[in-house]
Chain A
């Protein structure tokens, strides 16, 4: 089955700097890669996703890149702000089975003013 590894487990950045979180996956059939943000005490919420036919996707200060050959994808947050402090989860899924989603272990991001 699919295995998703996520690094680092914690990331501390100064406000205004960039943050990068990396994930690797094992199943070459995976073709959908979402990123979820979970603020303290809240439920996870989708912030950006990418499908395998695209190499990069941007949405304001966040971007995701995908390297299918190397089986890794990354989340980039630019100009970090205190409200970016949260746990971020990557995930992978095959479009043949939308129901089955494999999450990484999460990255605790702390943005210090």
Chain B
């Protein structure tokens, strides 16, 4: 089954404790992205990747890191999470236009 998976789906953590949210797709898509969704602000792009080892900043990259060592995986790293990073995070992959979203990760930073 073609899909985008994210783990964990829910995470509660404390300020400053490094965390990684994994994202994997099995559709051999070149493009992958991370978004955060906050009430009233829609979906804001954090980082995107055009292919292996090629990444670029989106609109809200501060406080986040990404890597694309393999085509299928695109982890999101928060090295020192802060409460303002509490949000719903979506990973997406795309063959060029249509975005296929993962199920989302709800992160709470206390």
Contact = CB atoms under 8 A, between A and B. Distances in A.
A105 B94 contact: no
B42 A104 contact: yes
B102 to A, nearest CB: 7
Interface stretch (A11-19, A65-73, A93-101): A93-101
Contacts of B59: 1, 102
A104 B41 CA distance: 8
Interface in B74-104: 90, 94, 96-99, 101-104
Contacts of A98: 31, 50, 94, 96-97
Interface residues of B, number: 25
A45 B101 contact: yes
Contacts, number: 59
Contact of A103 (B42, B49, B103): B42
Given A43-B90, A44-B90, A101 B101 contact: no
Given A99-B49, A99-B50, A100-B48, A46 B99 contact: yes
A8 to B, nearest CB: 13
A41 B66 CA distance: 25
Interface in A35-91: 36, 43-46, 49, 89, 91
* Residue from A32, A34, A43, A102 with most neighbouring chain B CB atoms (10 Å): A43
Contact of B102 (A34, A43, A102): A43
Contacts of A9: 40
Interface of A: 1, 6, 9, 32, 34, 36, 43-46, 49, 89, 91, 93, 97-106
